[in-house]
């Protein structure tokens, strides 16, 4: 069965303090790994799709990387506006009906 | 443009009421989704439509009834809901089902009294 585990559950950083969020996954053939940002009471905002090990994508202060077992979301010199819950999701080749499986998320709080 | 719109933003309904949630996208996406999200939990899939046909029903109670009138619109009809159905209801769309990112709407905050 496909599984996604995100760590840590919550993370508090000072403004400017770089860090990484982890998404470990077990899937029988990866079709895609997705990162989303979600602010309280709002819908998830799409950030990145990664398809194969070694792939990297960047957007402003965020960089997502992928290995065969995990993905990292690196946050460089974060600002308070980067505070949000970051969700990782995977879609496996053997997933029934191509469902995506979400992790429980990492709640990130950037202190000014 | 990667916008998915949802109406209403907030809805309060009694357990005997009938209401509908609406979702619209103009990205030409052929897959549309309904999710339910409780506080501090990830979105939970309810229904998937692919090319306007119901593809997945995740064993959702019949008090929730989805409808896809055309490729741009998705409705969720609600009746005889329970207080535990109170949640954020999210609509999403994607180009197709396989390997495509989903774009989410802002959600409808539903409260059942």
Q: pLDDT by residue (tens digit) across B81-91?
A: 999 999 999 99
Phi, psi of B108 (to 5 degrees): -115, 125
Tokens (6 digits) for A39 = 């602010």
DSSP bridge partners of A30: A92
Give A85 to chain B, closest Cα distance, Å. 9
Angle at Cα A15 formed by Cα A14 and Cα A19, nearest 5°? 70
Residue A1's pLDDT is what?
A: 81
Per residue in B10-67, pLDDT tens?
A: 999 999 999 999 999 999 999 999 999 999 999 999 999 999 999 989 999 999 999 9
Q: Please compute the mean of the pLDDT values over residues A10-32 and round it to a whole number.
A: 96
Mark yes or no for CB contact B42/A41 under 8 Å.
no
Residue A97's pLDDT is what?
A: 67
Per-residue pLDDT at A96 exceeds 70: no
| Residue closest to B75 by CA, chosen among B95, B46, B103, B101 | B46
Residue B94's H or E segment, with its range, is: strand B87-94
Residue B94: alpha-carbon gap to chain centroid: 13
A85 and A105 Cβ atoms separated by less than 8 Å: yes
Q: Which residue has the tokens 């692919």?
A: B50
pLDDT band at residue B96 using 50, 70 and 90 as cut-offs: confident
Spatial distance between the Cα atoms of A80 and B42, rounded to a whole number of angstroms: 23
Residue A10: alpha-carbon gap to chain centroid: 13
Per residue in A54-75, pLDDT tens?
A: 999 999 999 999 999 999 999 9
Spatial distance between the Cα atoms of B21 and B8, rounded to a whole number of angstroms: 7
Contact of A105 with chain B, judged by CB distance below 8 Å, is answered with yes
Low-confidence winner among A106-110, B6-10, B95-99 (lowest mean pLDDT): B95-99
Per-residue pLDDT at A51 exceeds 90: yes
Interface of B with A in 37-56 (CB under 8 A): 40-43, 45, 48, 55-56
Mark yes or no for CB contact B100/A44 under 8 Å.
no
User: CB within 8 A of B8, min separation 6: which ones?
Assistant: B21, B108
Quick one: DSSP state of residue A99?
-
């Amino acid at each position: 069965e496909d599984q996604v585990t995100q760590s840590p559950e919550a993370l508090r950083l000072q403004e400017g303090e770089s860090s990484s969020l982890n998404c470990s996954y077990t899937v029988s053939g990866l079709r895609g790994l997705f990162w989303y940002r979600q602010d309280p009471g709002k819908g998830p905002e799409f950030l990145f799709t990664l398809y194969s090990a070694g792939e990297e994508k960047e957007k402003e202060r965020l960089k997502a990387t992928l290995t065969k077992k995990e993905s990292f979301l690196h946050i460089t010199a974060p600002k308070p506006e980067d505070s949000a819950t970051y969700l990782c999701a995977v879609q496996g080749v053997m997933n029934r009906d191509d469902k995506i499986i979400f992790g429980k998320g990492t709640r990130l709080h950037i202190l000014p | 443009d990667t916008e998915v719109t949802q109406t209403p933003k907030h809805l309060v309904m009694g357990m005997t009421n009938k209401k509908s949630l609406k979702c619209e996208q103009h990205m030409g996406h052929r897959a549309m989704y309904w999710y339910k999200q409780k506080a501090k939990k990830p979105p939970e899939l309810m229904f998937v439509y692919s090319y306007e046909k119901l593809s997945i029903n995740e064993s959702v109670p019949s008090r929730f009834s989805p409808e896809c009138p055309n490729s741009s619109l998705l409705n969720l009809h609600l009746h005889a809901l329970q207080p535990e159905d109170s949640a954020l209801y999210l609509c999403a769309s994607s180009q197709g089902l396989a390997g495509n990112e989903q774009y989410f709407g802002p959600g409808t905050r539903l409260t059942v009294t």
